[in-house]
Amino acid sequence: MTPLWTASEIAAACRGIASADFNCQSVTFDSREVLPGALFVALKGETTDGHRFIDAAVAAGAAGLLVSTPVDAPHVLVDDTFLALNALGSTARDRSASLRIGITGSVGKTGTKEALAAALARALGRDAVHASVKSYNNHTGVPLSLARMPAEARFGIFEMGMNHAGELTALSALVRPHIAVITWVASAHREFFASEAEIADAKAEIFSGLMPGGTAIIPRDNLHFERLLAGAAGAGRIITFGLEPGADVVAETFTLHPDHSQVMARIGDQRLGFTIGMAGRHWINNALAVLAAVWAAGGDLAAAGLALADLSDLPGRGSRLRVQAGSGEALIIDESYNANPASMAASLAVLGDVTPAGTGRRLALLGEMKELGDLSDQFHADLAPHVVAAGVESIIVVGNAMKPLAEALSAKLNVKLVANAGDALAEAETLLSADDVLLVKGSNSVRLGEVVAALARRQESQA
């Protein structure tokens, strides 16, 4: 097997000194993710130092280490491991002939990334497509994702996130995408921006690193379309997507179902009918962004449509699981990975489209939304109409920031405000009955994914 990196290649890329010859098949900066044959990068952060976990990495089978302090194991010594990781990512970018696609957005970027990877792989095979894993989309995750890209990859798909102006400029300069996609602009990370328009400008920074002649893909239906269009002015080509008839990639008709959607789309002068294996109107938008990117990349649109039909069970982003509840089972809609006002409303709409069996109820377990600044109370209270419209009968809300929502709903339905995920689990276990449908969603730091995992383990113990 051709190694991903050799010690000499790492040393040359990072201007370091190799202590011995070694080959690596993967790269990570998390000792818990080390597999046999990995390169472990010992990053120094604000709260911890990766050098503390070298013994654990070696014990897990790391073939080599990237360090700034000499160690008694095969390694490459550099002055700064963060700068070295960026250099490794840049070298991976430049040694590959892959077509690189960058994706950002206030909502939908991870799901769109996963769907796009599946769409391109459907025609070419999984080995032809490299994509960032999880939500590795920040100043450490993006260079890591680049560093993991095999030289022979035909496509590289990179998610890019931000919560401050200027961050996407740096990430786009590192990735240098041939195609850059903005899924949507909404009030995420509002704490750090004076207006949603400023968020749009910050998202448009992804176009600053486009390769010459590169393609910018933007949502035609978004309130900030004109700002995004202005931000993409330097692109060689601009593709728009959405429901507006003037979009280049447009959903001419669509039908929403409780667990999927059916769409007839026009892509340029082509028409494609397809199914999306994920529920919700927001997935229409994501799917159109995927088709726009496949079209821009010269990919197989028919194969992309088949891949979208197979899409399902994205953990924390809409996957569905059945858990033991009372004398039967309840359905969990797992949207626990993250939340902002737009994605909360979209997920509640999905819940409203599901009709519980028998005497089942629609329930919600919602965690507070972070980084909303002075508008936090308003954004949380404004979720109330969406909760009511979804037909929720009982709701558990988690975190002090959820108090305005609890107060807005107190006269309309049964509300329980709790402090943390542990208390939320206890309440959910008491609340759930057979045939109930429970939506779980909140900012990642609220850790509602642990609630979903605990409920799933209960089901496994009953099997």
80, 104, 137 — which closes off a domain?
A: 80
The reply to whether 347 and 448 lie within a common domain is: yes
The reply to whether 381 and 302 lie within a common domain is: no
The pLDDT of residue 462 is: 53
The reply to whether 111 and 182 lie within a common domain is: yes
The reply to whether 284 and 427 lie within a common domain is: no
What gap in Å lies between CA 138 and CA 457, rounded to an integer? 31
Is residue 230 situated within a structural domain?
Answer: yes
The greatest distance separating any two alpha carbons of the chain, rounded to the nearest whole angstrom, comes to 69
Domain CATH number, residue 204: 3.40.1190.10
The reply to whether 243 and 122 lie within a common domain is: yes
Is residue 87 situated within a structural domain?
Answer: no
The reply to whether 269 and 387 lie within a common domain is: no
Q: Which residues pair with 174 in a beta bridge?
A: none
CA geometry: angle at 340 spanning 337 and 346, to 5°?
A: 85
The pLDDT of residue 191 is: 82
Is residue 90 situated within a structural domain?
Answer: no
Is residue 47 situated within a structural domain?
Answer: yes
Is residue 399 situated within a structural domain?
Answer: yes
Q: What is the pLDDT of residues 294-332, one digit of tens each?
A: 999 999 999 999 999 999 878 888 899 999 998 899 999
Type of residue numbered 259 = D
Q: Do 31 and 42 form a contact (C-beta atoms < 8 A)?
A: no
Is residue 125 situated within a structural domain?
Answer: yes
The pLDDT of residue 463 is: 45
What is the number of structural domains in the chain? 3
Domain CATH number, residue 35: 3.40.1390.10
CB environment 353-378: b (16+ within 10 A), e (fewer): bbebeeebbbbbbbbbbbbbeeebee
Query: Three-state SS for 271?
Result: strand
15, 45, 80 — which closes off a domain?
A: 80
The reply to whether 154 and 285 lie within a common domain is: yes
Is residue 86 situated within a structural domain?
Answer: no
Rounded to two decimals, what is the model's pTM? 0.91
The reply to whether 210 and 331 lie within a common domain is: no
The reply to whether 262 and 299 lie within a common domain is: yes
Q: What is the DSSP string of 368-425?
A: PPPS-GGGHHHHHHTTHHHHHHTT-SEEEEESGGGHHHHHHHTTTSEEEEESSHHHHH
The reply to whether 28 and 53 lie within a common domain is: yes
Give Cα separations from 68 to 29, 63, 88, 103, 129 (angstroms). 14, 17, 15, 32, 32
Q: What share of the chain is helix, strand, coil (3-state, %, to 5)?
A: 40, 25, 35
The reply to whether 263 and 352 lie within a common domain is: no
In the sheet with 179-182, reading across from the earlier edge strand, the strands are 129-131, 155-159, 99-104, 179-182, 215-219, 237-242, 249-256, 261-267, 270-276
The reply to whether 20 and 158 lie within a common domain is: no
Q: Which domain holds residue 28?
A: 5-80
Question: pLDDT under 50 in the chain at which residues?
Answer: 463
Relative orientation angle of helices 281-296 and 109-124, to the nearest 10 degrees:
50
Is residue 346 situated within a structural domain?
Answer: yes
CB environment 300-318: b (16+ within 10 A), e (fewer): bbebbbebbeebeebebbb
291, 310, 329 — which closes off a domain?
A: 310
